[in-house]
Amino acid sequence: MIPVLLYHAVSDHPRPGLGRWTVSTDAFDRHCHFIAECGRTPMTVSQYAGALRAGSPSEDTIVITFDDGYADTFAACRRLAAGIGAATVYVTTSWIGQPGMLREQDLIVLAALGVEIGAHSHTHRRLDELAGPDLENDIVTSRRHLTGRTGAPVASFAYPHGNYDRRTRAAVAEAGFNSACAVRNALSHAADDTLAIARLTVAASTSDARLRSWLDGDGPPAPGGELLRTRAWRSARRIRARVLQSPPALPPPAPAVVRVAGDPR
């Protein structure tokens, strides 16, 4: 079983609305120590997806990811690069350079350190609620923006809020991405979907014992297919979205709540 960790922010001073998803710097330092001593080999998402496609992912692998592109991700990834190794950062491209977010020059520095820069859509909307043209544009635009800003190929994607369906998955593949991350709060494994890789959310409430158990490979495995309750939850969100017809919020909102009442992910 392979832990693919999902971080959002790492800071001692959480932004309003981000407290639940902000790991303190002391906690992150402890996490780095646990990761270094667990004996697992860090990989970027693209490296791990390549191993999955080859049918030969090592059970000693660990994958570390960051979503959204908050400014404090820069220091966290430099800390990882200096002592542990690979990480993948998923950036919402319309937020680049916004207050409290990564800047273009930060992305260039991180890429030079070996950090993989992936796309997290352009507007951070729930992609499985969008109509065809909006869906495709949000995905394609994010890849184009990142490629233009970093000068490097962008091969991996992460679904905003962890929400995707078959149509979204197909659009990501059509846009040229070779891998994509979901959430699912489960351990990945050799049969995992390279376009919906399962991740474990590391939150402020994640205890050291819980993280170490994940590093030991203890936890629920990613299910082989989509659960019925996931489809029901998606239908409810789509109905709500049609009723509210709310535009995307800019500047960036707080990261999505991964587990809320009624959310099956």
Residue 228 has pLDDT above 80, yes or no: no
**DSSP SS3 for 83:** helix
- pLDDT tens, 194-203? 999 999 999 9
**DSSP SS3 for 148:** helix
Distance CA 96, CA 107 (A): 9
Q: Element (H or E) spanning 88, and its range?
A: strand 88-91
Q: Residue 161's pLDDT is what?
A: 93
**DSSP SS3 for 181:** strand
Mean pLDDT confidence for 63-82: 97
251: preceding bond cis by omega (within 30 degrees): yes
- pLDDT tens, 87-133? 999 999 999 999 999 999 999 999 999 999 999 999 999 999 998 89
Stated pTM of the model: 0.86
Query: 62 vs 85, 90, 124, 139, CA distance in Å?
Result: 10, 17, 26, 27
**DSSP SS3 for 23:** strand
Q: Residue 4's pLDDT is what?
A: 98
Reported as a pLDDT band with limits 50, 70 and 90, residue 223 is confident
Which architecture, in CATH terms, is 4-244? Alpha-Beta Barrel (3.20)
Distance CA 135, CA 127 (A): 6
Q: Residue 132's pLDDT is what?
A: 87
Distance CA 119, CA 149 (A): 12
Residue 248 has pLDDT above 70, yes or no: no
Residue 264 has pLDDT above 60, yes or no: no
